[in-house]
Structure 1
Amino acid sequence: MWAIAALFSMGGDYGALNFDKGLLYALPAWGIVLLSILLIRRPHSSALLFALAAFVVVLYALRSPVASNNKTITMVMDLAILLSGGYLYWKSSDGRIDREQLYEQIRVVARALLAIMYFYGIFHKINTDFLDPEVSCAVGLYAPLASPFGLEDNIYGRYLAIYATFIIEGIAIISLYWRKYFAVGFLLALLFHFIIPISAFSWYMDFSSLVFALYVLSIPREVSATAHATVHSAFSAVASRAAPFGKELIGLTVFGLAILVVVVLDFAYGERSWGLMRHSIGILMWTVFGSVAMFILAESALRHLPYTGRHSARQPAWLFVIPTLFFLSCLSPYLGLKTESSINMFSNLHTEGGQTNHLLFDEPPYLFGYQRDVVRIVDASDGPMRQRAEDGQQVVLFALRDYLRQNPDAWVSYELDGTLHEAVTRANFAVQPGLIERNLLPFKLVDFERPKVCTH
């Protein structure tokens, strides 16, 4: 499941795979694809798992700063896999890594990451704009799903989408640690995360497949064992007929059918952009994989409801350092640090410029000043930055300084606190953003319009 999630993630990173971002990104990106396929063929190979985790961490470091929340969660989980493997190797007397101990250790981190994701999925959304049915990101997901039924503008449906988000994520976080009735939240979460990518609002396949994979690690071992047995019995007969490449043949068949359907529809309804066609193929692939995985996992969970199995053995305390640091990093928007990659995706949250729409704060409790200075772009030397000026978008001054650092020939005219600064270049700033700062602090574009529309 972890390998499949990696493939969906790379499917959304087409720029790296087709060398648009250069060879430095393409090599580890294709390495992840190859290792994922090999791991699907040999799911019991610890070496392949460690290699895949290492490639993901390396690519994340090369990409830094990374805005994607799901890529950050994936990196944290892969880092935990590598650290756990290193710890077990160091402890072993014969240089072998105990796979059972490895599995139990990474299960702790997977469950904690899901809990943190759901906690901030609720906390960041406690703001005036997420609760507004006109601009809420929940409505952005609801509308495409309700449109075929003519209900996209139904006010009750919009409010239902908003508050159902809180209810589902609340039940999910409780059920993660409510062993007896874990299946209640598990089933709701499976359905919720299966539906989200089908809205086509964004490339959600990577996020939902990541959540599925984390859940497989988090649920009781008896449940995942039941699901594994079901998959093995269901596909072994088909795969054996096409041995030794049965699994690959099944995957290629589904992929080929998805491409065929999209090409036929494109021919029937007129030409569409390659990006839209790629997204459509991804949705069809997810619909097949997600529905099968959801059915198998749900059926396996229901067999163990209520769950009366044994408790897992206590794991080393150091494992909790990883999710604890991740939890603290997700407080960044309120502390004046990064506004991206903090599990605040599609939350309508705003914390820049000393202002916030969060209902628990009159103003953000900044400990750092990175978000305090926000500039309005007036003019610029390059097209994309000039477009931001035309769109009325604003940026955090730190992000602008880093942009000029990366583009020494560029200039930008901007307004800060009512003062116009014309044709500013890199040379105008005596101090440039440091290596750690610029790799750990990604910022969203700033929108002071109210209500704040949903972006991402």
Structure 2
Amino acid sequence: MSAGADRSIDKFFSNFWRRPSLSHATDRIAADGLTAFSPVWAAAAIFSLAGDRTMLMFRDGALLGLISWAAIAVALLLIWRPRLTPLLVLLAGIMVTRYAIAMPVAGNNKMIAAFMNAGILLICAHAVLRFGNSTSMRENVYENMRVVARALLATMYFYGIFHKINTDFLDPRVSCAVALYMPLADGFGLQNNLTGKYLAIWSTFIVEAIAIVSLYWKRWFAVGLLLALMFHFVIPISVYSWYMDFSSLVLALYILSVPREVSERFYDSCARLFRQLRERFGALGQALPFGLVIGAAVTLVGVLSVFSRQAHVPPSHAYQSVWVLMWVVYGGVTMLLLADAAINHLPWRGTVGPRRPLWVYAVPATLFIVCTAPYLGLRTEASIAMFSNLHTEAGVSNHLLIREPLDLFPYQSEVAMIKASSDPDLQHFANRNQGLVMFSLLERLRKKPQHWVTYELNGVRYEKATAQSLGAFTHASFWERKLLIFKHVDFARPKVCTH
């Protein structure tokens, strides 16, 4: 590396470790925008890491366990010192490394977060090599990160609509929108209300469509933001799945996507709150709210578990309940502050900044292409097809626009219907008359070579096949195993919601 590049790197870290200068208005907004984003991004990482209990307990190996706890430590440091941008870079690097080692990963939120973390690393590396002063560097990093965050959200909402344009999502008997609606409506006795079910289905399209438009129609950005915040605040409370990581991810990306003045006002509101806590309670005052919320959540869940009518509350339910309560407080307060900042700039009348370089769009463009995978015969997991009822396996599609998958790749063409197995997970599929694409079946057998499976494929029954008899150890390359992951297949119609 050249001496000039070495000096740029030294200057990057020395300037970023120092408190940013606020001598210029643009520098202040960039500093405030990054400082507002950093702790919220760290919180999103913690919610995501907390959902992977097996990794935290080292059940997925010592390496992933250590990396997960290292990520939590860095995330906590970033929440404590949000101005230290190198901590943001370090967290992004650790999370990308963890994701790469754990691949294939089914979670859509984890995939989107990995793309954002990769964007952070690329943008900061570019800033190191190009800029020699803190003002230009920080401004460039902030503006480029905003482009990536907004485009990732737009991609997420686009496929959140497109994949759902299928016969089964529109069917109130099985729609995934109804699966989320029913737990929320149960307390009001409306879980079986047909109007409510249709409202849940069509409101999903409406909210996500408004969200896309508002991301780029700056004047009325707050309309889409407010609808999105309400939607993403509510869905973790349904406890249908571990949604805190998804909603906290979206919240962090929105803090980068809103106009600069909004993120500055949001930062000022947060800074004022923590400044008052420090003045009243000393140096540890800013940690007080976190301690109170965590303590109250654990105590409440513990007391309710003791006095519950159920004979036994599973530890996993109690664990998730604690995190849901923490989300209610954290998500509620953070979203209210962001909503307040947005409303104060509605309609927005600011000036649009200069165009950003085209290479910045490479990260979200790659995600956009990846999410076409179900229609190409590639993977069906990690394609933002979550809770969409989408089916594209065995050359058949329930999509209303793409009625026949292109099947440029063969991975979805053969579906093995599981009939019996010595493996409890595979037997579960047999009990439900479900199948797996052959790639997934072979991967499961490769990881559990001591088990056998009986299945039907193209009308032919195969008895007690094993990894050895099917050649599971050599059926795929390293990259295929890292990049391809598939949902289980249910041919029953209407197709019930899985995830």
Residue 434 of structure 1: aligned partner = 477
Q: Tell me the alpha carbon deviations over residues 256-295 of structure 1, each in whole angstroms, 9 at most, x when there is no partner.
A: 1011111111112143111111111111111101111111
Cα deviation for residue 20 of structure 1 reads 2.0
Contact in 2 for aligned 1:57/1:75 (Cα 8 Å): yes
Contact in 2 for aligned 1:401/1:433 (Cα 8 Å): no
- Written as runs of structure 1 = structure 2, the 5 A alignment for 1:334-413 is 334-413=375-454
Contact in 2 for aligned 1:85/1:97 (Cα 8 Å): no
- Written as runs of structure 1 = structure 2, the 5 A alignment for 1:22-421 is 22-93=61-132, 98-270=137-309, 271-421=312-462
**1 CA distance for matches of 2:290 and 2:136?**
31
Equivalent AA in structure 2 for residue 309 of structure 1: G
Cα deviation for residue 432 of structure 1 reads 1.7
Equivalent AA in structure 1 for residue 467 of structure 2: R
Cα deviation for residue 314 of structure 1 reads 1.7
Q: SS at the partner of 1:176?
A: helix
> Equivalent pairs: percent with the same residue?
50
Equivalent AA in structure 2 for residue 154 of structure 1: N
Q: Tell me the alpha carbon deviations over residues 68-96 of structure 1, each in whole angstroms, 9 at most, x when there is no partner.
A: 00000000000000011111111134799
Residues 22/248 of structure 1: CA separation in 2 closer, same or farther (3 Å cut): farther
Mean Cα deviation higher: 395-404 or 117-126: 395-404
Q: SS at the partner of 1:162?
A: helix
Cα deviation for residue 234 of structure 1 reads 2.1
Mean Cα deviation higher: 373-382 or 331-340: 373-382
Equivalent AA in structure 2 for residue 433 of structure 1: A
**2 CA distance for matches of 1:278 and 1:227?**
31
Q: Tell me the alpha carbon deviations over residues 170-200 of structure 1, each in whole angstroms, 9 at most, x when there is no partner.
A: 0000000001110010111011111111111
Q: SS at the partner of 1:98?
A: helix
Residues 214/95 of structure 1: CA separation in 2 closer, same or farther (3 Å cut): closer
Q: Tell me the alpha carbon deviations over residues 379-403 of structure 1, each in whole angstroms, 9 at most, x when there is no partner.
A: 2232222222222220000111122
Equivalent AA in structure 2 for residue 442 of structure 1: I
Q: SS at the partner of 1:202?
A: coil
**2 CA distance for matches of 1:231 and 1:362?**
49
Equivalent AA in structure 2 for residue 425 of structure 1: T
Q: Tell me the alpha carbon deviations over residues 404-434 of structure 1, each in whole angstroms, 9 at most, x when there is no partner.
A: 2223333222110011122222233454211
**2 CA distance for matches of 1:183 and 1:316?**
26
Q: TM-score scaled to structure 2, two decimals?
A: 0.89
**2 CA distance for matches of 1:239 and 1:445?**
52
Mean Cα deviation higher: 422-431 or 209-218: 422-431
**1 CA distance for matches of 2:348 and 2:363?**
28
Cα deviation for residue 324 of structure 1 reads 0.7
Equivalent AA in structure 2 for residue 327 of structure 1: F
Mean Cα deviation higher: 228-237 or 130-139: 228-237
Mean Cα deviation higher: 352-361 or 63-72: 352-361
Out of 436, 443, 449, which is 2:486 matched to?
Answer: 443
- Measured on the aligned residues, the alpha-carbon RMSD in Å equals 1.5
Equivalent AA in structure 2 for residue 403 of structure 1: R
Equivalent AA in structure 1 for residue 72 of structure 2: V
Contact in 2 for aligned 1:89/1:95 (Cα 8 Å): no
Cα deviation for residue 244 of structure 1 reads 2.5
Contact in 2 for aligned 1:350/1:356 (Cα 8 Å): yes
Aligned pair count? 456
Q: SS at the partner of 2:216?
A: coil
**2 CA distance for matches of 1:248 and 1:59?**
28
Q: SS at the partner of 1:422?
A: strand
Q: Tell me the alpha carbon deviations over residues 212-256 of structure 1, each in whole angstroms, 9 at most, x when there is no partner.
A: 000000000100110111111123212343433333332121011
**1 CA distance for matches of 2:304 and 2:172?**
33
Residue 498 of structure 2: aligned partner = 455
Mean Cα deviation higher: 93-102 or 136-145: 93-102
**1 CA distance for matches of 2:219 and 2:392?**
39
1:425 equivalenced with 2:463 (yes/no): no
Q: Tell me the alpha carbon deviations over residues 35-76 of structure 1, each in whole angstroms, 9 at most, x when there is no partner.
A: 111001111112100110011001101111000000000000
Q: SS at the partner of 2:173?
A: coil
Gaps of 5+ in 1: none
Cα deviation for residue 165 of structure 1 reads 0.4
Contact in 2 for aligned 1:128/1:358 (Cα 8 Å): yes
Equivalent AA in structure 1 for residue 439 of structure 2: F
